[in-house]
Structures are given as structure tokens and as C-alpha cells.
Amino acid sequence: MTIRVAHIGTGNVGRLALSQLITDPRFELTAVCVSSAAKVGKDAGELAGLDVSTGITATTDMDALLATQPDCAVYCAMADNRPVEAIGDCLRILAAGVNVVGSAPGVLQYPWQLMPDKYIARVEDAARLGNSSLFITGVDPGFANDLIPLAFAGTCQRVEQVRCMEIADYATYDGATVMFDVMGFGKPLDELPILFQPGVLSIAWGTAIRQLAAGLGIDIDDITESCEREPAPEAFDIAAGHIPKGSVAAMRFEIRGMVDGRPVIVIEHVTRLREDLRPDWAQPAQPGGSYRVEITGEPSYAVDICPASSNGDHNHAAIVAAAGRIVNAIPAVVAAEPGIRTTLDLPLIPGTCPTLR
């Protein structure tokens, strides 16, 4: 029996998630909701980059989407610059009796000890009202710093520290809003973008810190953060736009879960727009970018994850992975008990290989 799924958001992750919803026989697409007037009326197949016509055209009307009575909604709308609105969307969908799986809002990946209890209660109340569940996931924050480290830590007799790293060149990533407004690439070094406003890093990746801590049975005392940025030595262009000389062209940041003054869970990002910038920072395991999980303990591990795709580079492959993680989780989330669900309480999500059947 197919699962009826509505889709919201057709940006980088959303477009690839929509493509899988159309081609995966486990799902029946019921509706597509977009935020851009230019996309209204376009067929879902076109928005997904597929040479197919689904007969389902995009709308901006959430009521129309809910009227199709989906079992689940895939929520991939931009939330970094509209978190309150995104949470409101999820409340509305859950209360209507529709499960939610998505890439955003990120804080709902594991909101405990990060969001005030009264706001978490609103999400849980909406889920109980609709007998629905919600699961927010991705790559990082996502499986690269929950599923993977927890799997390896599960083989350890002792764990002293877990470090999850993304080391990547973002020059080919074309999401201008994320690159310029959220991360602050191409901006003066004295200008603080959304990402580096006080406390934002600790919320955005605190979800991963708190979830790992819960899985490992660790009580975190505090979450700290730090960042450093590197200016462009000369002007150059990237997929998202122009990088002026002297503006931000590379960054490194850490979020640390502290116990007794010692970092026991660390999320580290090294993000460059050119591979020659800051060679003293961590380098990827493959050209372009990779993820790394380092566990210090008994035994210790250093695990490099090198995403690749026949349809694009490392950035494209990572986006495909995020979309795949979201869509493959739908059956488990539909079957789950009402409420906010996490990697810790969902069953293993193995994916499927319909072409090999």
C-alpha cells in the first residue's frame, strides 16, 4: 500500500526529495506547495528536474495541500531566516492529522534543553491533537552527527570524546540566501551574519550535541561555541555570486558539549570557497569535501565519509543524502507514536533498492 505524501519547498534539498517521491513506488504524491510565485502552476515533475508529467501542479495554498489528505508532508521550506513561521507551519500540519518529515526547522531535530518547554509543548500538543509525528533530519545536523557516531560508539567499551566534522569547499553550492545571508560569505569581517549571532551556533548544532549526549548517557553541563573567518586574498566568483577582496571566504567554527570543563562532544565545520585558503585547517579526505567522525576511547575511531554522485560534485551528493534520509524515513515516521521523534527512538531506516527487485 502506497503512502500518500504532500511536499513543501523545492529548493536544493526539496527538489531532490520531490524527485524521489515521484519515482519511488512506495509513495503517491498528492500536492506540492511552493513559496515562489514563479513556480505556481508548474508540474511537480518539472520542479523536480524530471522529464515526466505528474498532473500535480504547484500552489502556495497550504489549505489546498492539506485538503488532499496526505498521510505525511515532506517539509523542506527555508527556515534559517524564518524559524517562527516554519515552526508554525509544522504545528498546522501536525494538528491537521498529517505526519511531518523534513529538513527544517532544525531546532525540532532534538529541541529539549534548547527550546523553552512551553514551545516544545505546543508541538507535542499539535501532534497529539492530530495523532501525528514529526522527524527533522539531514546530513549535518543529521545522520553524520547522530546515526554514524552512535553506531561506532556502540562498539566502544569507553568513550572519552566524540568529534563530528564537516570539511568542505562550498564554491559550487548555489544557495545564495544560505551562503550570503545566513553564513555571511562575501560580507565584511566586521559584519555578523545570522549564523554567528550570539547563541545561534549553539542552537543550530546544539540539537546534535544534546541528542548524542542523550544517546551516550552523558549529562552536558554547558554548550560553548567559537568561530574564526578568513578574508579573500582577491576577488573571485562562486556559484552563488561574487566574493569581493577582503570579504569572508573561509570559516571554521566549533560547538562543544562540556562536562567538568572538558569538551566531550564537538561539532566542527571547516568551510572554504577555495581549497588554497587556510591550509592549516583540517583537510577533507577527498577533493572538495568530506565528513569525519572521530571517537576517542577504547577502541578509538577516525571515520571519513566521502559523498559522491554521478550527477554532481560533493556538495550535490551531500544534498542527495539529506533528501534520501528524509524521504526514506517516511514509513517509520508514519508508523511512529505521536510527537517529536528522533534518531534515538525511530527504528533503523535502511532505505530501499526498487531497481534491484
Query: pLDDT of 120-135, one tens digit each?
Result: 999 999 999 999 999 9
Write out pLDDT tens, residues 244-253: 999 999 999 9
Give every CB contact of residue 212 below 8 A, 6+ residues apart in sequence.
Answer: 145, 146, 149, 150, 162, 218, 257, 265
CA atoms within a 13 Å half-sphere pointing along the CA-CB vector of 3: 24
Same domain, 147 and 249: yes
Same domain, 155 and 292: yes
Q: Is there a cis peptide before residue 188, judged by omega within 30 degrees of 0?
A: no
pLDDT for the residue 355: 60
Judging by DSSP bridges, how do beta strands 236-238 and 241-243 pair with one another? antiparallel
Is residue 345 a part of any domain in this protein?
yes
Same domain, 297 and 207: yes
Same domain, 33 and 167: no
Is residue 317 a part of any domain in this protein?
no
Same domain, 74 and 9: yes
Confidence of residue 354 (pLDDT cuts 50, 70, 90): low
pLDDT average, residue stretch 350-355? 74
Is residue 324 a part of any domain in this protein?
no
pLDDT for the residue 222: 96
Is residue 52 a part of any domain in this protein?
yes
Same domain, 156 and 288: yes
Q: Domain holding 24: CATH number?
A: 3.40.50.720
With a cut of 70, say whether residue 332 has pLDDT above it: yes
For 297, the domain range is 143-311
Q: What is the dihedral of CA 96, 98, 101, 104, to 10 degrees?
A: -10
Same domain, 155 and 240: yes
Mean pLDDT score of the chain: 97
Quote the number of domains for the chain: 2
Side chain identity, residue 209: I
With a cut of 60, say whether residue 357 has pLDDT above it: no
pLDDT for the residue 356: 58
pLDDT average, residue stretch 77-82? 90
Is residue 319 a part of any domain in this protein?
no
Secondary structure (3-state) at 145: helix
Same domain, 86 and 154: no
With a cut of 80, say whether residue 185 has pLDDT above it: yes
Separation CA 4–CA 97 (nearest Å): 13
Closest to 204 measured CA to CA, from 269, 290, 121, 288: 269
Same domain, 129 and 210: no
